[in-house]
Amino acid sequence: MLVPILGAGMAEAETIQVTIDKMAFSPADIAAKAGDTIEWVNNDILAHTATVKGGFDVMLPPKKSASLVVDKTGQFDYYCRFHPNMKGRIAVSAP
């Protein structure tokens, strides 16, 4: 099996981890590039979500993780539907 090699100048997608602990996203503000993966790790005993109104809605079960590939550029404010005081922001730039 042949595996293509990325050419010089092409950026590899990254995984950016956000931890949920004591009812807070940490870090609350992150920067990503289109194509990157955001992984939320929920250390709380309660379920949470990472929700953008009119956009994505990621369910985050207690003591589990979930991820999302960001594909649109822009700034996205997200929150937990169950705990609206939990807020975060993702700034997504072009790759």
Strands (E) across 3-61 are located at 15-20, 25-26, 29-33, 37-42, 48-51, 57-60
Cα separation, 43 vs 35, in Å, equals 25
- Whether residue 78 contacts residue 90, with contact meaning beta carbons closer than 8 Å, is answered with yes
- Nearest CA-CA partner of 25 in 82, 91, 79: 79
Prediction pTM value: 0.87
Q: What is the pLDDT of residue 12?
A: 85
The class of domain 15-93 in CATH terms is mainly beta
Per-residue pLDDT of the chain (95 residues; tens, 9 = 90+): 444 444 444 568 899 999 999 999 999 999 999 999 999 999 999 999 999 999 999 999 999 999 999 999 999 999 999 999 999 999 999 98
